[in-house]
Amino acid sequence: MVAVLLALLPPLLVGSLAVWSCWPRVGPAAWRAVLAGALGIGLALGATSWTYFAWVVCAGPSRPGFLLVETLFFALLAAALVVAVRRFPAPDGGDLPRPPHTRWTWAIWAAFGLVLLAALATLGLALARTPHGEIDAWQIWNLHARLLTRGGDEWREPFARLSALYHPDYPLLVPAAVARGWTCAGEESTLVPRLVAFLFAAATVGLLVAGLTLLRTPAQGCLAGLVLLATPPYLRYTAAQYGDVPLGLYFLAGVLLFEVRDRLRSGSERLPVLAGVVAGMAAWTKNEGQLFVIATLLARLVVAWAGGRASRPAPRALVAFAAGLLPFAAALAYFKLGVAPTNDLVAGQEGGATLPRLLDGERLWEVVSGMVEALVTVVGGAVLVLALYAALLGRARGDGGRGLHTLTVLAILLAGYALVYLTTPLPLSLHIFLSADRLWLQLWPCALLLFFLNVAAPEERLAADPAGPRR
C-alpha cells in the first residue's frame, strides 16, 4: 500500500499545481490550497487511469517499465507547470466576494467536525465489513480492473464476450485506476479499490467545502459539507465501491469551475481547459458523464443568452474546453468503438419500439413517481432542513446569487435520465428501483453547491443585524 501511495504523489502534485495555476487569486491561500489538493486528487486518479489505459493499449498490461515511464511523464509535466505558474500567475479574482467572519462560524465548524468524525468512523467500518464492495463492484468495476491486469495481450477479448449483465461497455476510469494500483502494489489487494473509493469521497467533500468557502462564506462551505456527510446513501455507495461517487466529484468540479469563471470580469481560458479535463474524466467514468459534456456545452449557451451580448461564449473558451476534453474523449472513443460491445439500452431501441415508449402516459407517470421516491430515499429529511434554512435566512444578494450554469446542467441531466428511463427496454420498475437513487447521488453535490450559492449565509445575516455578534 505504501508503494501505491508513493506512486500517486507525482500525479497528485501535477493535479494540484494545475488547479493552483488556474484558480483566481482570491480568498485565503490556505483554502485555495485545500481546494487545489481536493480537486488534485480527482485529477490524479483520472490522469493515472488514462496513462494506465494508454500503456495497456500500446504496450500491454504485462510489459515492465510502466511506472518508470509514467513517473517520468508526470515529472516533466510538473516541471512544465512550475515554469508556467512562475511566468504566468493565476488570474486576478479581485471581484469575487471576500466572505465576512463571525465568532459563530466556529460553532458551525465544530458541528462539521463532529459529523466528519462520525462519517469517517461509519465509512471505515463499512469498508472493513465489505472489502470487496457490493454487487456492482464485483460484476463491473473490479471485474473490469481484473480484465485489464490479467488479460495480457488479449485483454480486449473478455470485454467483447461479457454479457450485458456485466456492462462491458462502461468506461474505464475507475477500473483502470484500480488496476494501476494493483500494478503498483504487485498484488490484487482489496485495499486498493477501497483506497480509491475513499479518496474520491474525501476529494468531493473537500472540494465542496473549499469551493463554497471561497465563493461564499466559511459557514456555507462547512454546512454544505455537513449535509453531504450526513447523507447515508453517500457513505453507503462510497463503501460499495461504485462509480457514482467518482462521477459526482467530476460533475461538481465541472460546474464549480464555470461558476468561478462567470464571476471574473476578464475571463481566464485556463478554467475552461480545466473544466474540459474534468468533463472528459466524467465521460471516462460512466456513460452519464457523456451527457454531462453535452449539458455543459448547452449550459454555456443558456448563460450567454441570459447575459446578453457581453456574456457570449468566446470561441477561445470553447477551444480551451475542447482541448482539455480531447485526451479522454480519444480514450473513450477507442474503447467504445474498438473494444466494448454495443450498450444494451441502445441495442434495445431496435424495431421501432422507442416512440411508443415515449408516448406512453402511464410510463411517464411511473418514471416521475419512481424518481421522486428515489429522491426521498437519498436525501430524506435533508430537503425539509434545507427548506427551513432557506426560509430563515432568505436569498443571497449580489454576486452570491448566481448559479445559472449549475442549474442548467442539473436540469439537462435530469431530463436525460428521465428520457433513458422512458425508452429503456428493461423492465421499467426494476430499472428505476436499481439505479434511480444512485443517479440522484451523482447530482447531490452539485445541488448542494447551487443551494448554498443562492441562500444567504449566516455571516451575512449576523453582520447585517445590529444586535448580532461582531468580528
Contact of 68 with 54, CB cutoff 8 Å: no
Cell triple for residue 423? Answer: 425508452
Model pLDDT, residue 134: 94
How many other C-beta atoms lie within 10 A of the C-beta of residue 430?
Answer: 10
Q: Using alpha carbons only, give the angle 93, 94, 99 rounded to the nearest 5 degrees.
A: 100
Cell triple for residue 103? Answer: 465568532
Q: Using alpha carbons only, give the angle 343, 349, 355 rounded to the nearest 5 degrees.
A: 145
Amino acid making up residue 366: E
Rounded distance between C-alpha atoms, residue 60 and residue 69, angstroms? 14
Is 452 exposed, middle or buried (CB count within 10 Å of its CB: 0-12, 13-18, 19+)? Answer: buried
How many other C-beta atoms lie within 10 A of the C-beta of residue 186?
Answer: 9
**Does the CA dihedral 134-140-143-149 come out positive or negative?**
negative
What are the domain boundaries of the chain?
Answer: 2-96+108-341
Q: pTM of the entire structure?
A: 0.94
* First-to-final CA distance of the chain: 45
Model pLDDT, residue 469: 42
Model pLDDT, residue 468: 47
- In 3D space, the residue among 418, 413, 429 whose CA is nearest the CA of residue 368 turns out to be 418
How many other C-beta atoms lie within 10 A of the C-beta of residue 334?
Answer: 14
Place of cell 490524479: 44
Q: Using alpha carbons only, give the angle 55, 196, 241 rounded to the nearest 5 degrees.
A: 110
Tell me, what DSSP letter sits at residue 384? H
Contact of 131 with 194, CB cutoff 8 Å: yes
Cell triple for residue 370? Answer: 419512481
pLDDT in tens, the chain (471 residues): 677 888 888 899 999 988 988 888 777 889 999 999 999 999 999 999 999 999 999 988 777 788 889 989 998 888 887 777 676 666 665 545 555 566 677 888 899 999 999 999 999 999 999 999 999 999 999 999 999 999 888 899 999 889 888 999 999 999 999 999 999 888 999 999 999 999 999 999 999 999 999 988 888 999 999 999 999 999 999 999 999 999 999 999 999 999 988 887 555 678 999 999 999 999 999 999 999 999 999 999 998 888 754 455 567 888 889 999 999 999 999 999 999 998 888 888 876 778 889 989 999 999 999 999 999 999 988 888 999 999 988 888 765 557 899 999 999 999 999 999 999 999 999 999 999 999 999 999 999 999 999 998 887 766 655 444 443
Tell me, what DSSP letter sits at residue 349? T
State the helix-helix crossing angle for 428-454 and 232-239, rounded to 10 degrees: 120
- In 3D space, the residue among 141, 131, 157, 21 whose CA is nearest the CA of residue 82 turns out to be 21
Rounded distance between C-alpha atoms, residue 112 and residue 178, angstroms? 31
Model pLDDT, residue 166: 92
Rounded distance between C-alpha atoms, residue 455 and residue 388, angstroms? 11
